[in-house]
Every structure is written in C-alpha cells, then in structure tokens.
Amino acid sequence: MKKTIKISGKLLCLENPLIMGIMNLTPDSFHKDSRFNPSDEDFLEKACRMYENGAQILDLGGYSSRPGAENVSPEEETERVLEAIEVLTKKLPEAIISIDTFRKSVAEKAISKGAALVNDISGGTLDSEMHPWIIENNIPYILMHMRGNPKDMQNQTDYKNYPNDVYTEILEKANYLKKEGVTDLILDLGFGFAKTIEQNYQLLKVLELTKLFDYPILTGISRKSMIYKALDISAAESLPATTQLHLFSLLKNTQILRVHDALEASQTVKLLSYLENDTHKP
C-alpha cells in the first residue's frame, strides 16, 4: 500500500488519515450546510473554519452529483469554482484545493488558478479528454467508480459479480493511468453511485480488500442516503451515524475521508490514533 502522495509540491504521509472537506458551490446540494457561495459574506469564514477543524484538503464542486441532479453548463460550473479558488488561494494558501469535476475544461482552468488535485466522479467516462490531459500533465487524480451519469446511475446497479465488478472496473482504469505515468492516484469506490443501499454496505464490509491495491483509498459516505434512508431520518440528522461509519471505514483501510463535518471527522481520526498506538500519551 502506498504510504505517501505528492500534491502541490507537498509529500503527504498517509499513515495518519487525511480529511477532505466538502465545499459544494451549488444551490441544490442534498445537504444544505455543505453549500458554499463565494459571493456570500460568510464564505471565507466557513471555509477557514473547515480548514482549522482539520480539513487539509478543500474539495470544490460546481456541479451537483446527487442522484437525479440537473445538468449544469461548463460555463456556469467554471464560473462557480474559479471565484472560490481565487478567494481561497489568497486567504488559505496552505490548504490543498481539489476540484470536483468530470469535465477536463473545468479541471484545466481550476488547476491553472491554483487547484492541485482533480476529483473525478466519473473516472474519466463522461469526458474523453480528461484522462489524456491527466496523463500528459501528471495531475494528482482521484479516480472514482461510477456507472452512467448522475441522472441515470441508479438504474445501473445490475452487477454480475458484486463487489468484484467494482474492483475490476476501477483497477482497470487505475492501472492504465499508472502505466501511462500518472504517479499520484487515489481511488474512491463510489459509495452511492450506481449502487443500491444494500450494495453500499456490502462494499463497505469488505473495504479491507483494498489493502491488496497499490493505491490510497478515499471514502465518501458522509451524510449520504445509504445512511439516512437506512435509518429513516434526514441528512441533517445523520451526523452521529456518519461518524460511526467513518470510524468503521478507517479501520477497514481508508486513508482519506471526504466529509461535510471536518471537526467530528478529525476527532474520529485522533481517537483512532489512541486505539492503534499503545505509546500515545495525552
């Protein structure tokens, strides 16, 4: 298992799990408290709080990927993210900025303005130019497993051999990118994307199988429907259950948690360090 990853000139050690904070620059994200508008007065305050609460990586998304989400033009998506990147690179220069997009044109502009990492929910399937550009420029890249697109992905949950099909599909792409020279790859198994609630938990239960992969693993389950629908609660009520599953996923080989609530996730990581290190002193 790879123990480090280089992003923005920094060699990040993955022995201690990292926190990626979700910053949705969209008006329709499923969890309202994750919505950030760079034009609002409190945008920078909210972003600084997330960083200070432990989110070393800030993941900016201008396109809602929730199931059934409406399409957003590349122009509108670009406008949303570039304004936020400009503010954050000036005020939080130490934060690592990730651009959450499946569009090469958006990713390219974001990287040129200061983003350092591309988080592609489609794993390159929704824009044929994405992977050639990633390869040519050796951009740090999060490769996620998904079938279809946000509008139809939940109609594509018929797997022949689950969850092996997920591993096969994502590793085929990852190994190709690695062979072509991409040195800093992170894999995301895509919880909630082209998977039923039951399939999400099947995948989570065997997450330790990713120890066989030579790639860091990012897990994004924060406040998702696999939690709140299973418990018949709202996304707003799902933080306690999310925190419990975060601990479970860390124990099962997650190196990066993608979260809405950086403070609680950071506390989970800290407590885990006490459980795993007998010499840890308060």
Q: Is 66 exposed, middle or buried (0-12, 13-18, 19+ CB in 10 A)?
A: middle
Which of 2, 223, 224, 281 is labelled catalytic?
Answer: 224
**Residues 21, 267 contacting (CB under 8 angstroms):** no
Question: CA gyration radius for the chain?
Answer: 18
Question: Using CA atoms, how far apart are residues 36 and 259, in angstroms rounded to an integer?
Answer: 14
Question: Using CA atoms, how far apart are residues 217 and 257, in angstroms rounded to an integer?
Answer: 9
Which of 151, 258, 270, 281 is labelled catalytic?
Answer: 258
| Residue 88 CB-half CA count within 13 A | 33
Active site annotation includes 224: yes
Tokens 């408290």, located at residue: 33
Write out the catalytic residue numbers: 224, 258
